[in-house]
A and B are shown apart, each in its own frame.
Chain A
Amino acid sequence: MGDYVEIEYWQVALAALLILINGAISIALQLRMEKTLLIASVRTVVQLLLVGLVLDSVFDPELWFLVFPLAAIMTLIAGITAARRNQRSYVGITLDTVLSVWASAWLVTGFAMLAVMQGADSWHQPQYLIPILGMVLGNTLNGITVGLNTFTETLVTRRDHIESLLAIGATRFEASRDSRQHAIRTGMIPIINSMMIVGIVSLPGMMTGQIVSGMEPMQAVKYQIVIMFLIASATALGTVLVVHFSFLRIFNRRHQFLNNALTKKL
């Protein structure tokens, strides 16, 4: 481990003052976001402090068995969040998002731990597994949310088109092909964008974190490249899965489009 400046709580409080700028803007422009901002800030502090405590115990080698429940809870919360953020809903949406997040994030993280991180003490060493899974989940969650949202919105706006195709003999796969492709592409846009500008416009949090804590920049860069690829593949996989799971619920095996299955959230 290299050297880094230790941050005390009063220094954290100093940074929190910056949020007051946002509050002032909100009041000045009557955005009415003060309350949301306050809740978001408090949640940031509380959630991160809690996870700090949890990580402290999970990193204890004698408590290795805690790694998997923690990973499962993280995955479950990511999956549920993805379903809640969708503007439209249907019966089974949460199961679809949870399964998609779970399958894609665990597969990719598993590959990372077993194949890429071969120098680790064990394939489930929490120091690597938890942060990698966390980063993969956070990004997959976004891809899944954007992809699923786009898919359900496209189905509603293109309903006449889809039904016109089904009416002349298209299968459910043919009638929904454009909508599925559009949704998956849209879900992939954020990660493709970050891959395009990484290092030029943005320095990713993990890489800067490692550099701040004293790691050689080239090592930190290699970690970051690995992470970008993990995130990209998990996002692609998760988005493809969620779009197809929801496709199977909104189109039945009789090649009927169940428009009423989609309900708009208030």
Chain B
Amino acid sequence: MSTPQEISSEIAESEDTFPLIQLQQVSRNDRDTVLLNEIDLSIYPGQRIALTGPSGSGKTLLLRSLAMLDPIQAGQVLWQGETVQPVDYPRYRSQVIYLHQRPALVEATVEENLQLPFTMQVHQDKAFDQARIVAMLELLGRDETFLAKQQRELSGGESQLIALLRVLQLDPAVLLLDEPTAALDQATSMHVEALIDNWYSQNSSQRSIVWVSHNEEQTERVSNTFLSMNNGQLTGDQHG
């Protein structure tokens, strides 16, 4: 068994592996305040990155920059070595999905919420796979009847689970998780970790995860690369 650090080094150093995403000197400001300071970061297929750091250090903003959800003031984001044209942002975001800290569901059943992405232009070539969803629900300790539940009947934690399922079924290349278990109890957190691990293992050479967490034990369990942020700057075990 390799240690997490060794795995990430192997991935980063292997010559035939090309980074999926590269942030080059990415900066974000809000007037005079520097939010992200000249960030360089490469994300390779297979990497599972834990991102830690104090509140307000820029972790969420870094994930959002990776998903290209906000304008940046300097630097660039490359996808497989190339800049992304404005018209291709939705397609990019179908490959690099950011799971919001407070994901919002529509007022409908769980199943309708899970089907929502397939009404979008960018996911037209995919179809809702109920059997797969049911299998995922079982990993979370829920059965098929959960699909008929109304959004308003769900607890905050349950909404978070559905939002996670909605994202996993789309099989992005890079999954950006912003404290996905913060609102969950210990048992459900473990279910979520198992579900994500299961999803990752289905195609571990092609999938990457960036996981923001405040829980040290969790970061040890779920990642093979460790990064931390402070004052908008990236520190730690960084490659690329």
**A interface residues with partner B (beta carbon < 8 Å):** 158, 160-161, 163-171, 174, 252-258, 260
- Name B104's contact: one of A164, A171, A255, A257 (CB within 8 Å): A164
Contact assessment for B120 and A167 in the assembled complex, using a CB-CB cutoff below 8 Å: no
- A168 adjacent to B86 (CB under 8 Å): no
Which listed residue (A160, A164, A170, A257) contacts B90, Cβ 8 A?
A: A170
Which of A161, A252, A253 touches B106 (beta carbons < 8 Å)?
Answer: A161
- CA of A257 to CA of B100, assembled, Å: 14
- A-facing mask of B82-111, CB < 8 A → 1, else 0? 000011011101100111101110100000
CB nearest to B102 among chain A residues? A160
Residues of chain B whose beta carbon lies under 8 Å from any beta carbon of chain A: 30, 67-71, 86-87, 89-91, 93-94, 97-100, 102-104, 106, 116-117, 119-123, 163, 166-167, 170
Task: Give every chain A residue within 8 A of B121 (Cβ-Cβ).
Answer: 171, 174
B163 contacts across to A, CB distance below 8 A: 164
A contact residues around B123 at 8 Å (CB): 168-169
In the A-B complex, list the 9 residue pairs whose CB atoms are closest, starting with the nearest: A169-B94, A161-B104, A169-B122, A160-B104, A167-B98, A255-B89, A254-B86, A253-B86, A169-B93
Q: Which of A158, A168, A258 contacts B166 (CB 8 A)?
A: A168
Complex interface: chain B residues within 8 A of A253 (CB): 86-87
- Whether the pair B69, A160 counts as a contact (CB closer than 8 A) is no
Q: Could you show 15 A-B contacts with beta carbons less than 8 Å apart?
A: A158-B104, A161-B106, A165-B116, A165-B120, A168-B123, A168-B167, A169-B93, A170-B122, A174-B119, A174-B120, A253-B87, A254-B89, A255-B93, A256-B89, A260-B30
Give complex CA distance A260, B61 in Å: 14
Q: Which residues of B have CB within 8 Å of A257? A: 69
Minimal beta-carbon separation of B238 from chain A (angstroms): 25
Residues of A within 8 A of B89 (CB): 254-256
Chain A residues within an 8 Å CB radius of B86: 253-255
Question: In the bound complex, what is the Cα–Cα distance between A158 and B106 (angstroms)?
Answer: 10
Inter-chain pairs besides A255-B86, A255-B93, A256-B69, 9 sampled, C-beta below 8 Å: A166-B69, A167-B69, A167-B93, A169-B91, A169-B94, A169-B97, A171-B121, A171-B122, A256-B71
Which residue on A lies nearest to B71, using beta carbons?
A256
Known: A161-B106, A164-B103, A254-B86. A169 touches B120 (CB 8 A): yes
Across-interface contacts of A168 in B (CB, < 8 A): 93-94, 97, 117, 120, 123, 166-167, 170
Taking the closest CB of chain A, its distance from the CB of B126, in whole angstroms, is 11
